[in-house]
């Protein structure tokens, strides 16, 4: 047990002394997570709104695909993205293999179903009568989408934070697409694997503690938004919308 305690002490020393290599990995991880989450929101929100608001042919198929995407194996996604990004492949001209852009793309693909499926569920839970009333008052599609996002905001924020947390902690796609290159494409999750393989348990624990801290922060933010949404809901309808 002594080596575990020694590793924990070394980890805290690395964190609190402001080790440059450690915090560079933190910055890379945040860069990847933020970029992937923004891309996932860009594509996932419209899909989630379409499934939650719309009643069109193929809606169930689209929703089934989003739900199935929640279980996408990161290593398989990483393999497929890497195959498309290799030189001579369809996306090889982008030269994104073993770069942060490639990692962000792979992580965005993994996060997209989270945003889409959770948003669809949150919007579908909003009373249909509210949308019917808005349509009767002449609301356009963009206005309906805005209303849906506002009413389902806790679920949408939860989807965003879940996507961000997924992008923080996934490792398979990072290794396959980014190559886990030290100082370039290495994230906290992939760094833990590298350091453990090298027997550097103190550094691995430091990376693990920082990753756990970021994930806990995401969970705390979601809890705050959930309680804020419940409190606002108890106060009645949102400003600007009156019951008939």
The count of structural domains within the chain is: 1
CATH (domain of 158): 1.10.3720.10
Does some domain include residue 5?
no
Helical (H) or strand (E) element with 12: helix 2-16
Q: Is the pLDDT score of 231 beyond 70?
A: no
Does some domain include residue 24?
yes
Q: Residue 235 has what pLDDT?
A: 58
Does some domain include residue 7?
no
Task: Please classify residue 226 by burial: count the beta carbons closer than 10 Å to its beta carbon, then call 0-12 exposed, 13-18 middle and 19+ buried.
Answer: middle
The CB density around residue 9, as the number of other CB atoms within 10 Å, is 12
- Mean residue pLDDT across the chain: 88
Q: Residue 58 has what pLDDT?
A: 87
Does some domain include residue 3?
no
How does DSSP assign 149-196, residue by residue?
HHHTHHHHHHHHHHHHHHHHH--HHIIIIITT-TTTT--HHHHHHHHH
- Give the whole-angstrom CA distance, residue 191 versus residue 42: 29
Which pLDDT band, with edges at 50, 70 and 90, does 6 fall under? confident
List the domain range (segments joined by +) for residue 203: 12-208
Does some domain include residue 241?
no
Q: Which residue has the higher pLDDT, 210 or 17?
A: 210
Give the whole-number percent of the chain exceeding pLDDT 90.
61
Q: Is the pLDDT score of 45 beyond 90?
A: yes
Q: Residue 217 has what pLDDT?
A: 87
Does some domain include residue 109?
yes
- Give the whole-angstrom CA distance, residue 84 versus residue 96: 10
């Amino acid at each position: 047990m002594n080596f575990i305690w020694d590793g924990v002490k070394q980890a805290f020393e690395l964190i609190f002394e402001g080790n440059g290599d450690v915090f560079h990995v933190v910055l890379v991880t945040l860069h990847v997570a933020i970029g992937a989450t923004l891309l996932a929101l860009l594509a996932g929100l419209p899909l989630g709104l379409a499934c939650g608001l719309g009643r069109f042919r193929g809606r169930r198929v689209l929703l089934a695909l989003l739900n199935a995407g929640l279980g996408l194996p990161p290593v398989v996604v990483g393999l497929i993205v890497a195959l498309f990004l290799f030189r001579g492949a369809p996306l090889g001209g982008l030269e994104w293999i073993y770069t942060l852009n490639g990692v962000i793309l792979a992580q965005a693909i993994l996060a997209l179903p989270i945003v889409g499926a959770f948003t669809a569920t949150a919007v579908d839970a909003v009373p249909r009568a509210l949308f019917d009333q808005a349509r009767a008052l002449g609301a356009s599609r963009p206005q309906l989408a805005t209303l849906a996002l506002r009413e389902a905001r806790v679920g949408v924020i939860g989807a965003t934070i879940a996507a961000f947390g997924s992008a923080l902690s996934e490792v398979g796609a990072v290794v396959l697409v980014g190559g886990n290159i030290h100082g370039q494409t290495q994230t906290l999750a992939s760094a833990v694997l590298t350091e453990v393989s090298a027997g550097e348990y103190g550094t691995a624990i430091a990376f693990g503690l920082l990753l756990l801290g970021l994930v806990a922060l995401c969970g705390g933010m979601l809890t705050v938004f959930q309680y804020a949404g419940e409190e606002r809901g108890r106060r009645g309808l949102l400003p600007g919308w009156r019951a008939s």
